[in-house]
Structure 1
Amino acid sequence: MDTVLFDLDGTLTDPKIGITTCIQYALNQLDYDAPETDQLLWCIGPPLTVSFAKLLQTTDQIMIDRAITLYRERFATVGLFENVLYPQIPETLKLIRAAGYQTYIATSKPHVFAKRILEHFEITALFDGIYGSELDGTRSDKGELIRHILLAENLSPDTTVMVGDRSHDAIGAKKNQLLAIGVTYGYGTEEELRIHGVDLIANYPMEITKYL
């Protein structure tokens, strides 16, 4: 193995307050009763289109897009900074880099926001590239995103690992024949990760280095 792709939300950072508060803001603006924070934790990881479709109980793309616009209205100025790095993340990344691995961000979050978050935490230099979705939803599917990264960076699936905390990370990795490491300190359970095919489980960030 010579390359590691990292999910962002729930893997490197804990975005609980920012994401849930922005969802509540969007729903309130649409005159919907917003669930309590702890009832929205399942929304951390999946694309916003999927989450709002379930929350609004609709397939109306116009309504879903309106909700996403309202979400980003708050997220772009406040929400993306309501976020913290998980303990051991900088040290873990530095060890992986020192061992000679290439590292990339692979997040369903729009890459314009991902870049600002990494800059905020001053860890941009620990990555060879930052990849995410486009604002129009292009490459929000983790499988499509990983495929794009492999092609853009000329990476081999045989030597690339995907690290993430949700089923979407595992599914995306397996669609592209990647080894998958699931982390349990984020928002996915070990059961969710194993059901969707992760090869290894890390219970804390530094454990990732042991597997590599």
Structure 2
Amino acid sequence: MTSRDYKLLIFDWDGTVMDSVSHIVHCIKLAAAEMGLEILPDERIKGIIGLGLTEAIDALYPGRGSAFHRELADRYRDHYLPPGPSPTPLFDGARETLETLRGAGYRLAVATGKGRSGLDRVLDETGLRPLFQATRTSDVTRSKPDPLMLHQILEELETGVSDALMIGDTEWDLVMAANAGMDALGVTYGVHDAERLVRHHPVGCIDAITELPAWLGCSGAAC
């Protein structure tokens, strides 16, 4: 398959569309401090971005019970969800890139480790909701790298797996796509670097979201 043959582009959110990695790390540290937990290094926290929140907490602070997971998750959301004076930014050119791809006839979707309330908030804050035909979050399906959210998106949009491309910045995105039998494109400007991404055999990697139309063979609003 050439890159021109894809009909559906499925995006991860944090670290792929939105430049939110530092905000996530900061909020996890605040929540951990409130509970008197060890404050982990930034790189270790970054490594779990992309997983569902419960799975991420268990990876950072293993061996705790469900009550611990709920409390830390609630404290994290208390810090992350309230709108601040400066909304979390999109990556440079993300909005224009998504608009170009929709104009070129691609269908767009989101498959994210965020919770539904968090994704709904940022879709509304950014005004990007109309661009996406389907969205899945880890709290309404299963966390990456389980492929269920991809299967659900394909079923909802009546699209074959060979017509879809998963786009993400973490190995969780690429492994999820592989588990679904779907091609994946890595982006190197988010959480995981190119060396870590290529271990999972993506069909390619890009260094900025603005490179995506050219990688797909699009020029302006036409392909």
Would you say same fold, with TM above 0.5? yes
Please, which runs of 5 or more residues in structure 1 have no aligned partner?
none
Deviation at 1:159?
A: 0.5
CA deviations over 1:29-71 (Å, ceiling 9, x no partner): 2111323545532232222223322322324333223211221
CA offset at residue 17 of structure 1? 3.4
Superposed displacement of residue 199, structure 1 = 1.1
CA distance in 1, matches of 2:98, 2:35: 40
What RMSD over aligned residues (CA atoms) do the two structures have, in Å?
1.9
Letter matched to residue 212 of structure 2: I
Q: Distance in 1 between matches of 2:131 and 2:187?
A: 19
Percent sequence identity over aligned pairs? 26
Conservation of the 8 A alpha-carbon contact between 2:168 and 2:174: yes
1:16 and 1:82, CA in 2 relative to 1: closer, same or farther beyond 3 A? Answer: farther
Establish whether residue 201 from structure 1 lines up as the match of residue 205 from structure 2: yes
Q: Distance in 2 between matches of 1:128 and 1:8?
A: 15
Corresponding residue to 1:146 among 150, 156, 160:
150
Residues 107-163 of structure 1 show CA distances to partners (whole Å, capped at 9, x for unaligned) of: 1111221121021112222212222122xx642234221112112222210100110
Q: CA deviation at 1:209?
A: 1.2
Q: Name the CA distance, whole Å, in 2 between partners of 1:72 and 1:78.
A: 11
- Alpha carbons of structure 1 residues 82 and 57: separation in structure 2 relative to 1, 3 Å: farther
Aligned to 1:177: 181
Say if 2:194 is the partner of 1:190.
Answer: yes
Q: Deviations over 1:172-192 (max 9, x none)?
A: 111111111100011111122
The amino acid that maps onto 2:186 is: G
Residue 62 (1) aligns with residue 59 (2): no
Rounded to whole Å, the distance in 2 between the matches of 1:201 and 1:16 is 19
SS in 1 for 2:47: helix
Alpha-carbon distance between aligned partners in 1 of 2:214 and 2:42, rounded to the nearest angstrom: 34
How many residues align? The count is 209
Unaligned runs of 5+ in 2: 1-5, 217-223
Q: Distance in 2 between matches of 1:64 and 1:111?
A: 17
Q: Which has the higher strand share?
A: 1
2-side partners of 1:159 and 1:74: how far apart?
38
TM-score, normalization by structure 2: 0.85
Asked if 1:117 corresponds to 2:122, the answer is yes
Once the two structures are overlaid, the 10-residue window that deviates more, 123-132 or 50-59, is 50-59
Structure 1 counterpart of 2:55, from 24, 42, 50: 50
